[in-house]
């Protein structure tokens, strides 16, 4: 009986340790962008990629980030650690600042 209880408690602790980093993820909104341009002499420059450079949290705090192929208004999933935000475009690969 004690062995079964120890196994159950051990599994519960293991699940909590695995899930703890995921619980700190916050959904933010891209609030600033930078565009990369492809220029040629014959045509005006056209943006080839927009990158999100600022993310705003639901409580209004702004964090500098670097998320490729994201534009203003895109939803980002971010984790904030020691004042730095690491974000990913929803459905995209993570990119750290």
Structure tokens at 44: 């005006």
This prediction's pTM: 0.58
Closest CA to 33 of 19, 49, 16, 12: 49
Does the pLDDT of residue 63 top 70, yes or no? yes
Each residue's pLDDT tens digit, 14-50: 777 766 665 567 888 999 988 877 666 666 666 677 8
Q: Which neighbouring-strand residues pair with 55?
A: 30, 63
Looking at per-residue pLDDT, the higher value among 51 and 25 belongs to 51
- Mean pLDDT, the chain, integer: 78
């Amino acid at each position: 009986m004690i062995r079964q209880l120890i196994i159950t408690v051990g599994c519960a602790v293991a699940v909590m340790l695995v899930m703890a980093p995921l619980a700190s993820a916050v959904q933010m909104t891209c609030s600033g962008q930078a565009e990369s341009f492809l220029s040629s002499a014959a045509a005006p420059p056209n943006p080839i990629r927009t990158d999100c450079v600022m993310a705003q949290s639901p409580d209004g705090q702004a964090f500098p980030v670097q998320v490729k192929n994201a534009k203003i208004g895109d939803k980002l999933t971010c984790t904030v650690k020691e004042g730095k935000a690491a974000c990913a475009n929803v459905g995209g690969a993570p990119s750290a600042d």
